[in-house]
Structures are given as structure tokens and as C-alpha cells.
Structure 1
Amino acid sequence: MSVIEIEMGPARESHECDCCGTVIESTHGYIYRDNDAYAVYEASWCEGHAEAQVNARIEIGGDWGDETSRPNHAFFGVLIFRTSTHNGFSMLEPEESQWISPDSEKDFLTREAALAHPLKSEIFHIAEHVAKEEGRIKAFLDAHPIAS
């Protein structure tokens, strides 16, 4: 079994949520598999929302050497949440992701394509590491479990 490691990036500047006026926090980081660059993640959450969830994007692909390798990458929208007993994950449609951009839109998988993708289990495995090891995300999820 390969070893997955997370390198947390610096927190991003927070901003005000358009729908509730409270603060949206966001962060990003890098995923390594067996000490090689493997994926990146971006994630955000809002304390003011009734649904305590983290909206994340996981980008996974082949070579990470330069921008020319980006066409080989796939973008997955993942919803991360915590129940009273475990972390939960769900694939998102591109339009549900807070991380879609004109640069990533063509590579962002639909929910149906993500669920059929051969790396689906790996994406959920990475999301579990993010939920458990990304300190700010873990603190948010632990403080806001959803009743199961």
C-alpha cells in the first residue's frame, strides 16, 4: 500500500459569505504518494451555514513538472462532512464546487463521471487524509458534527 502524506499550504485570506455574512475560511495543500507529488487540494467552509460541510477540490494527475502536464489532470469536487461517528464524503457536480474556474472547467468531472472514474477510491482516500490531517479542517469538522 502506498503512503499518502499531506503538506498543508498557508491559509488563504478569509472573506465574507454572500448569503449569510459570516466568514468563509479556505486553505490548500499538496498530496504526496510515496514521497512523489501526486495531487493538490483546495477547501473552504463557512461557520455561519447550517450545514457544516467543507467544499473541496482535489486535482490529481500525472506529471507535476510544469503547466504543460495539466491536461493530464482531473478535477474532483468533494463535499466533506463529519457525522457523530465518522467522516463522510460525496462527489459534487462542477457547478456545486466553489473551486471551478475558467481554467479548470473543462477538466472538472461531473458527479457521474467522478463516481465512475477509476481513481474514485483514491480520491476518497485523499479526502479522508485531508479531513483527519489538515488541522483547520479537522477542527471545524470536529466542532460541527452532523447528526447521523
Structure 2
Amino acid sequence: MWGRDGGVLEIEVGAQVRESVCQHCGRSKTVVTGFMYRDGDAYVVYYASCYDHDGPEVWIDVVFSPNWEDDAAGRYTFGCRIGAVDGPVSPAASLVPAAAAFSTSKTFGHKLTRDEALVHPALPEFWAVVDHIVEHDAVVVAHLDS
């Protein structure tokens, strides 16, 4: 799939899929950790947390980094929720504080707030990645279709 900047996006085969229990509701949740490439180069790491609260919803966190060394400066994370909202029949995506369900780890770099994300120059790239995940990650597709 073509990204918004013209690069070809691909999800790496073999994403890590973990089943656990939601700390808030006690129901099962699935968390996918995957890598995405753009034109064959490492591009982002994403976390797709699939819940079934009041219907299926997916919280997606996407980590951008200038390189993938352990202590990379300039790393930042966007977050969104995909699920039912008042009004539309189909699920909608909305920006949320990034990686709120995860610990404060160097993995995420700077976790963008919703307000920071709204004005960040990489916002169009983030939405292109989210679109690709929603269309091509088998676990996410199956969950949203359930």
C-alpha cells in the first residue's frame, strides 16, 4: 500500500500477539506488537490493543524514531482509539494521549498528548500508518469485524 508520502508501506510478517486481561473490565484483550516498513526500511513500531468493552475497539499507538537504537533521541508516539462513537454507525478514529496503557519506557520516547498530536507535522504519516494497520493487520481486521 502507498503511504501518504508516496512510500510503500508493509507490515512485517510475524507480529507478536499476546492475550491478557483488561485491568479495567476483567475481560480478555489482545495486544499486537508489529513493525512496519516503508520502501523496505524500518519505519515504525505499532501496538494495537484490541478490547471488547461496549463493542469492539482498538487502541493504536505508533512509535516514530529517527533510528532504532536503544537510546534514540527524537523518538515520539501518537495514539488513537478506533471504535463506536455517538452518531456514526461505523467505528471512528480519534486521537488520544499516546501509549497511556503502557509504562513510561524509552521505547515510546515522547508520548504525544492529543493537543500535541493535532499540530504535529507527522500527523498525516500517523493516519496513513493507522489506515494500513486497519486494512492489513489480520488480528485488527478480524477484531473490528467481530
Which band: TM-score by shorter chain? 0.7 to 0.9
What is the TM-score normalised by the length of structure 1?
Answer: 0.81
Q: Contact 1:11–1:26 (CA<8 Å) still a contact in 2?
A: yes
Per the TM alignment, residue 34 of structure 1 is displaced from its structure 2 partner at its CA by: 0.7
Cα distance between partner residues in 2 of 1:105 and 1:7: 19
Instruction: Output one character per residue of 1:22-55: Cα deviation in whole Å (capped at 9) or x when no partner.
Output: 11111110111111101110111223x1142111
Superposed, 1:1-12 pairs within 5 Å as: 1-8=6-13, 9-12=15-18
For these two proteins, the number of residue pairs brought into alignment is: 137
Cα distance between partner residues in 1 of 2:108 and 2:42: 22
Superposed, 1:1-148 pairs within 5 Å as: 1-8=6-13, 9-12=15-18, 14-47=19-52, 49-64=53-68, 66-68=69-71, 70-81=72-83, 84=89, 88-94=92-98, 97-103=100-106, 107-143=110-146
Q: Contact 2:63–2:108 (CA<8 Å) still a contact in 1?
A: no
Identity of aligned residues (%): 28
**CA RMSD of the aligned region, Å?**
2.1
Per the TM alignment, residue 120 of structure 1 is displaced from its structure 2 partner at its CA by: 0.2
Alpha carbons of structure 1 residues 133 and 105: separation in structure 2 relative to 1, 3 Å: closer
What is the TM-score normalised by the length of structure 2?
Answer: 0.82
Gaps of 5+ in 2: 1-5
Cα distance between partner residues in 2 of 1:134 and 1:77: 17
Aligned partner letter, 2:51: C
Instruction: Output one character per residue of 1:53-90: Cα deviation in whole Å (capped at 9) or x when no partner.
Output: 111210012122x213x2221111121237655x6321
Moved over 4 A (4+): 82-85
Q: Hey, which of these two has a bigger chunk of helix by percent?
A: 1
Instruction: Output one character per residue of 1:71-127: Cα deviation in whole Å (capped at 9) or x when no partner.
Output: 221111121237655x63211124x73234243576101111111000101101100
